[in-house]
Structure 1
Amino acid sequence: MDRAAGFWRNRRFFKFRSNSNGNTAQRISDHKDMNEQEIQVYLRNHPEILEHFVMDEVELEQLERWMIRRTQKAKKMNYANRKTSLSRWRFCVHADKRQMLEQLTQQLQNKPTKAHVLFELASCISNAVNADGFRLYLVEDASETLTFVLDSETFDENGDPKIQKIRDNPVIARYVASTRDQVRYSRGDIDPRFSNAGICDRETQHVLCQAIVYPEGSLVAVIELWRGESSSRFHEEDEEIGNSYLVWGGIALHYMSIYINLNKQKKLNDFLLAVVKSIFQDMVSMDMLVIKIMNYAQRLVNADRASLFLIDSKTQELYATIFDIGFEDDIQEKMNSPRGAKEATEKMKSEEIRFPMGTGIAGQCALRGEVFNIVDAYSDERFNRNIDQLTGYKTDTILCMPIFIRGSIIGVVEMVNKRTGYFSKEDEEAFETFAVYCGLALHHAKLYDKIRRSEKKYRVALEVLSYHNTCSEEEIERCEKMGIPANIPNLNDFYFNPFEIDEFVKVNYVIYMFKDLFGFNRFDKKDLMRFTLTVKRNYRRVPYHNWTHGFAVANSMYSILKNSKMSFRPNECLALFIGSLCHDLDHRGKSNKFMLESESPIAAIYSTSTMEHHHFNQTVTILQQDGHNILAKLSSTEYKQILSLIKHCILATDLALFFPNKDKLMALVDQEKFSWSILEHRMMVNCIAMTAADLSASAKPWEIQSETVKGIFEEFYEQGDAERRAGRVPMAMMDRNQKDHQASSQLGFLNGICIPCYSLLYRLIPETRPMLKQCQDNLTRWQAIDDLKKKEAIELKK
């Protein structure tokens, strides 16, 4: 009281005049020589004078200092070791308030849980009313049922308040939770509400119990303040103090709850994003995915162990090869490297376990499709204790959740023993969101496994096919013994007859044409032999689109290139020749329209230019085989360029693309805008040249042309037969019962496609005039045949 006494001697005090006690105040001012003891006695007898003086004259900062000193003197704080408390912040001077607020905010952000904030508030109220301690009863999420308790004297190893499940029956707290009433109770009181059993703790003599609610009225917790034998009862003033804090605390908790929820949602979103990146970007195997899912699940809900069981829909069983993952901080790092992932998988993998649906917690979860959040496993009759007995591991809490995909349960994830406290409703909600991604990941992993197995099967099939569809060493030896002719008369003649040459001899003729056009400086002769022999093998034995047709088209392109004086670039020439040789590889003798209508697997892969895409794909497949890459000595840039040009040339043989190419090029020629120096213009010429070579049978002498047409129509009729078997009516041209339509169909083909093609090519490359002339002659012959057929038909009608 030394400072206080000195202060009261200040002259301001004696100038103070109270409205109600002016005479008394004046009397004090008349006795300026009063000592300290006399002043104290006088103020005790006249407290109203002190109250008026303090309220009107004392600065707020001074008042706050007195409050802190008074609180500290009245009761030594039980939590002096805590860095910050709400009570200290409430009664601090303005100079320190900002710093204290920053410390408190940082502390709450470091541990932003509702329990932690409530504990701070309870500590504040306990200090304010001079309680000896408190018990804070927390409600279970969304149920307003008291489930957990925080005790002011119980902390964990980290110094944080320890959350415990309620063991005793907190009669008063449950009453306050249900009624929201405030209760003051002392041991021995007769209160019909509690049947004289309100106090269970021996040390507790007096209780003040109050509800903590959000502004909208929902229950957050119940605080039970207590005093021991050496302390007095709680009074109405204590209730008022508690109420003042609870009003502020409820508002603070409301906004803190919003902050915590937003913060949790952000963390959950960040976590799920990391999960999605991890489990979708590297689907190595199902086992590795299972380990990742379980590890992420553990971290999400802070569980000690994790198990994931998949459902075998055929046997109605749950199974797992990796079913008990512990909490390891380095497992995620291991899974990020192929070697570490393999080692971790092998270490955790065990013999497959299986059990029927409906067995145990996981089996019930899978059977019923419900979430099980079990606080005490041993008190649940569905829990199987045998595993704990065998392993020595004690199971306390379980969170088990089904994983759905497209409405069906495909598995169950079981989390065991939350590392701190119990699995909460928030854990359930977070894990339910996580389970959606688990389902997608597992579903795609299964598809990935199927695709990978299919790929393995495809590779095996490809190996078998490549063995049978790749030229043999005997064929290569035979080709080498025959040798490449030094000169082949008339080979570059547009009227060269491909039917006069043996099938095998055609191989050496192709090599001769290749050498004549490009030489062997940049190409390996033996690779070219293998390539050509394998190309020959990959033409099917169909009536028209066979090896002879491929050779004939390559020969026609050779003639165009040899006779042309126009500016085809070297790489374009190479692509045109290879494209012509390979343009119908693995042709099945059926049109693109038939492949689409019959739902061929090829049509599912290529929706446009179906067979042409397949022919190019087969070309690349041959080039990729050992000893077949005739382009191996080219630079990477040239290789890519020539492959692109080959694809362009092969796709150009689709007659559906001929018409737009022809119209564009014809417009350029008619308007005298065409130029050989423009790449786009040359690419269109390449297309027209490919069509001209592909249809070159129509530009051969009549004997060759008529022989070729026989093969064409036999192939048409085979397609018509297949359409009839499939229940479709073939067009007249493909109906072997309507052979009289051959001449008329040829007239339409020559007039609509061949003559326009060769006419345009002649304007661009005049040296190709023989092709146009012979096509016109053949048109005349077909016209005569058609006229004769029509005349015979008229005669029959007569």
Structure 2
Amino acid sequence: MSLFMYRQRNGIAELTTRIFNIVYPLNTGIDSLFSDFDMVAVMMTVNKIGAPHFTAQDEEVKYLNFANLVLRGFHLSYLHNCETRRGQVLFWSASKVFYEFTDIERQFHKALYTIQLLFLKLLDGSFQTHMHCCYNNPPADQWALVSGLPTYVAENGLICNIMNAAEDKLFDFQKEPLDESGWTIKNVLSLPIVNKEKIVGVATFYIRKNGKPFDDMDETLMESLTQFLGWSVLNTDTYDKMNKLENRKDIFQDMVMYHVKCRKDVIQNILNTREVYDKEPDECDEDELDDILVKHKKIHTIFEFHFCDFKFSELDLVKCGIKMYYELSVVDKFHIPRDVSDNGNSNPTGDLKRYYTDLETMAMVTAGLCHDIDHRGTNNPYQMKSGNPLAKLHGSSILERHHLEFGKALLRDEALSIYQNLNGRQHETVIYLMDIAIIATDLALYFKKRTMFQKIVDQSKTYESLDSWTKYMMYETTRKEIVMATMMTACDLSAIAKPWEIQSGVVRRCRILGQGDLERTVLEQQPIPMMDRNKADELPKLQCGFIDFVCSFVYKEFSLLHSEITLMLERTGRSGTL
């Protein structure tokens, strides 16, 4: 007796015997209608013992139902083994799909040990092998492509299961051994890899380990496996794109640094140490460099409230920025390199320095220098309306976060970093404080924090002396950060408290009307009245409203906290009445 299993391949029913290893397709002349029931197998008996032929009674043997039960049990066991194996392969694949991003071959090499796999990636209509060679007309040594099977699968999106590759008439498989070991193609299973209805590759499996043809369970398993192969294509492509973007970013950053860095000969225009001391800036001590800055009398006006930078050259402003670090006495204390230069302005402290350490004040001054670096001349809402990439990169406080990241990028450069000699804890602290200080220049955040600042001011009045209040504040990190954030807002708006000729000059230099023109012409939108050139006659009234609602409140609360800032409040009120 022989047992024939019933199965389907490529949608065609067939019988196969595990005893003789023979397959009979049912579409080649054999009657396909055997039973009205779900057929799982066929039993065949030959050469009846003791009789010349089988009778009708033989057809109704009583043990047939029992044999049917055994066959069904065997079939269920077979399905169970297939599903178990499928689960093992898919579970292993799922655990490895995100493990290796660089090479898809390495992802599935171990998982597919029962077959030999060739993965072909479809790239711009051509096939790309794991060796990263693209072929439109493959050479003879690329036997998998020469057969035409991957191309057929990619074009038609069909699953092809070939039982006997050597006798197949549709595809031209090489019949001779493919290598010195004598490896030949016997049977093939090829499937498309689909991503959102788009074929991105073809996975072709050659020769089962037991040498038998692939069956319908193999097709189901491999069809599921191609989903992981598709994810792997996505992962490796994404990884490759990320690497390219990272390389482009590094190139762009190098280009920016090339134009931003100050050359050593330019540094001598600021700190002419070669002429005075016959040595480089990094070889001079703090007193020697301070003496060079003292000789520039114009720089001393930085300590006066009416300081105005309009008449200063860029190099003079750099000297002012350097002078601030010497005024804080942090150059030697934190070993700031002498040949690092920066640009910036200065503002009086109003005795608020008493709350902060030297490290914290250095972080705040650096944040002040970086808080508007690489400004685009437009505000945050314009970045969002225009679809600027910065708006996509930073969800809120768009320009402030750009200034912060740009400043950090400069400070990461060894030739520009003034923090390079800080220890790990100090470096972490100054970067954290810079984050708070620069982001605080977003007025939208100021309105959220000013109630908290008011409570701090009210609390200060409950202390008997300034010294006791100072001791309390020095250890209140959160309150210090709120005061620092409000200080950044006050400094950012400080032009309003300057003498009239200075603040009017600052206003004339603002490009708010220019942004209004851009909104009207480029975005085809109506700008807000303060930026609308057609409503310039309303500008004084709008500015007075801004002074009263925003500026006056800041300086009023600070003057209650420290009387030294009362002068700024008085000048702000005077500006609103001019």
Q: Given the two structures, how large is their TM-score scaled by the length of structure 1?
A: 0.61
1:542-601 deviations in Å (ceiling 9; x for gaps): xxxxxxxxx23xx11xx216x336422333322211111110010011111111111111
Say yes or no: does 1:252 pair with 2:73: yes
1:511-556 deviations in Å (ceiling 9; x for gaps): 121122133234344x354241xxx3xxxxxxxxxxxxxx23xx11
| In structure 1, C-alpha distance between the alignment counterparts of 2:15 and 2:80, rounded to whole Å | 24
1:62-91 deviations in Å (ceiling 9; x for gaps): xxxxxxxxxxxxxxxxxxxxxxxxxxxxxx
Check the 8 A contact 1:494/1:771 in 2, yes or no: no
Q: What is the identity, as a one-letter code, of the residue corresponding to 2:156?
A: R
Say yes or no: does 1:319 pair with 2:137: no
| In structure 2, C-alpha distance between the alignment counterparts of 1:725 and 1:176, rounded to whole Å | 75
Say yes or no: does 1:730 pair with 2:519: no
1:471 to 245, 262, 268: 262
Corresponding pairs, count: 536
1:590-634 deviations in Å (ceiling 9; x for gaps): 111111111111111012000000000011100111222211222
Partner of 2:120: 309
| In structure 1, C-alpha distance between the alignment counterparts of 2:270 and 2:305, rounded to whole Å | 26
Say yes or no: does 1:150 pair with 2:6: no
Partner of 1:560: 349
Check the 8 A contact 1:523/1:633 in 2, yes or no: yes
Check the 8 A contact 2:318/2:341 in 1, yes or no: no
CA-CA distance at 1:653 after TM superposition:
0.4
CA-CA distance at 1:490 after TM superposition:
4.9
| In structure 1, C-alpha distance between the alignment counterparts of 2:431 and 2:89, rounded to whole Å | 49
For the structure 1 residues 275 and 489, does the alpha-carbon distance in structure 2 shift closer, same or farther, using more than 3 Å as the test? closer
SS in 2 for 1:491: helix
Check the 8 A contact 1:398/1:415 in 2, yes or no: yes
Whichever of the two has the greater Rg, that structure is: 1
Partner of 2:563: 766
Partner of 1:223: 43
| In structure 1, C-alpha distance between the alignment counterparts of 2:153 and 2:325, rounded to whole Å | 70
| In structure 1, C-alpha distance between the alignment counterparts of 2:485 and 2:26, rounded to whole Å | 90
CA-CA distance at 1:248 after TM superposition:
4.3
| In structure 1, C-alpha distance between the alignment counterparts of 2:358 and 2:429, rounded to whole Å | 12
Say yes or no: does 1:282 pair with 2:103: no
Partner of 2:279: none
SS in 2 for 1:219: coil
1:400-457 deviations in Å (ceiling 9; x for gaps): 1111111111111111222221111111111111111212221332233223222222
Partner of 1:178: 34
Check the 8 A contact 2:153/2:202 in 1, yes or no: yes
Say yes or no: does 1:643 pair with 2:431: yes
For the structure 1 residues 293 and 362, does the alpha-carbon distance in structure 2 shift closer, same or farther, using more than 3 Å as the test? farther
Check the 8 A contact 2:6/2:16 in 1, yes or no: yes
For the structure 1 residues 477 and 464, does the alpha-carbon distance in structure 2 shift closer, same or farther, using more than 3 Å as the test? same
CA RMSD of aligned residues (A): 3.4
Say yes or no: does 1:779 pair with 2:576: yes
SS in 1 for 2:340: helix
Partner of 1:511: 322
Partner of 1:756: 553
For the structure 1 residues 499 and 379, does the alpha-carbon distance in structure 2 shift closer, same or farther, using more than 3 Å as the test? same
1:424 to 184, 202, 215: 215
1:659-701 deviations in Å (ceiling 9; x for gaps): 1111222144346689624222211111110011111111111
| In structure 2, C-alpha distance between the alignment counterparts of 1:688 and 1:586, rounded to whole Å | 23
SS in 1 for 2:390: helix
Check the 8 A contact 2:94/2:228 in 1, yes or no: no
SS in 1 for 2:207: strand
Larger CA deviation: 632-641 vs 754-763: 632-641
Q: What is the identity, as a one-letter code, of the residue corresponding to 1:273?
A: A
Say yes or no: does 1:721 pair with 2:514: no
Task: Kindly indicate which of the two structures has a greater share of residues assigned to helix.
Answer: 1
Q: Given the two structures, how large is their TM-score scaled by the length of structure 2?
A: 0.83
Partner of 2:194: 404
Q: What is the identity, as a one-letter code, of the residue corresponding to 2:4?
A: Y
For the structure 1 residues 434 and 176, does the alpha-carbon distance in structure 2 shift closer, same or farther, using more than 3 Å as the test? closer
For the structure 1 residues 283 and 254, does the alpha-carbon distance in structure 2 shift closer, same or farther, using more than 3 Å as the test? closer
| In structure 2, C-alpha distance between the alignment counterparts of 1:479 and 1:248, rounded to whole Å | 98
SS in 1 for 2:454: helix
CA-CA distance at 1:220 after TM superposition:
2.2
Say yes or no: does 1:498 pair with 2:309: yes
Check the 8 A contact 1:311/1:410 in 2, yes or no: yes
| In structure 1, C-alpha distance between the alignment counterparts of 2:188 and 2:315, rounded to whole Å | 75
| In structure 2, C-alpha distance between the alignment counterparts of 1:320 and 1:388, rounded to whole Å | 25
Say yes or no: does 1:626 pair with 2:414: yes
Larger CA deviation: 375-384 vs 481-490: 481-490
CA-CA distance at 1:238 after TM superposition:
11
CA-CA distance at 1:166 after TM superposition:
4.8
1:704-731 deviations in Å (ceiling 9; x for gaps): 111111112xx11221222222122333
Check the 8 A contact 1:649/1:686 in 2, yes or no: yes
Check the 8 A contact 1:622/1:628 in 2, yes or no: yes
Say yes or no: does 1:137 pair with 2:4: yes
Where do 5+ consecutive residues of structure 2 fail to align? 139-144, 274-288, 463-468
Check the 8 A contact 1:697/1:704 in 2, yes or no: yes
| In structure 2, C-alpha distance between the alignment counterparts of 1:466 and 1:754, rounded to whole Å | 36
Say yes or no: does 1:530 pair with 2:340: yes
Which structure would you say has the larger RCO, counting Cα contacts within 8 Å and 6 or more residues apart? 2
| In structure 2, C-alpha distance between the alignment counterparts of 1:358 and 1:404, rounded to whole Å | 22
For the structure 1 residues 662 and 576, does the alpha-carbon distance in structure 2 shift closer, same or farther, using more than 3 Å as the test? same
Say yes or no: does 1:273 pair with 2:94: yes
Q: What is the identity, as a one-letter code, of the residue corresponding to 2:259?
A: H
For the structure 1 residues 237 and 312, does the alpha-carbon distance in structure 2 shift closer, same or farther, using more than 3 Å as the test? closer
CA-CA distance at 1:507 after TM superposition:
1.5
Partner of 1:436: 227
For the structure 1 residues 524 and 442, does the alpha-carbon distance in structure 2 shift closer, same or farther, using more than 3 Å as the test? same
Q: What is the identity, as a one-letter code, of the residue corresponding to 1:256?
A: S
2:457 to 669, 672, 679: 669
Partner of 2:476: 678
| In structure 2, C-alpha distance between the alignment counterparts of 1:247 and 1:390, rounded to whole Å | 45
Check the 8 A contact 2:164/2:187 in 1, yes or no: yes
SS in 2 for 1:499: coil
Say yes or no: does 1:448 pair with 2:236: no
Check the 8 A contact 1:275/1:296 in 2, yes or no: no
SS in 2 for 1:412: strand
| In structure 1, C-alpha distance between the alignment counterparts of 2:485 and 2:133, rounded to whole Å | 62
Q: What is the identity, as a one-letter code, of the residue corresponding to 1:733?
A: M
1:381-414 deviations in Å (ceiling 9; x for gaps): 2211358587675322111111111111111111
CA-CA distance at 1:232 after TM superposition:
9.8
For the structure 1 residues 426 and 603, does the alpha-carbon distance in structure 2 shift closer, same or farther, using more than 3 Å as the test? same
Where do 5+ consecutive residues of structure 1 fail to align? 1-133, 155-162, 181-216, 323-348, 537-550, 782-798
Check the 8 A contact 2:190/2:203 in 1, yes or no: yes
Check the 8 A contact 1:306/1:414 in 2, yes or no: yes
Q: What is the identity, as a one-letter code, of the residue corresponding to 1:595?
A: Q
For the structure 1 residues 479 and 231, does the alpha-carbon distance in structure 2 shift closer, same or farther, using more than 3 Å as the test? farther
Say yes or no: does 1:461 pair with 2:461: no
| In structure 2, C-alpha distance between the alignment counterparts of 1:169 and 1:768, rounded to whole Å | 98
Check the 8 A contact 1:579/1:650 in 2, yes or no: yes
Q: What is the identity, as a one-letter code, of the residue corresponding to 2:321?
A: V
Partner of 1:165: 23
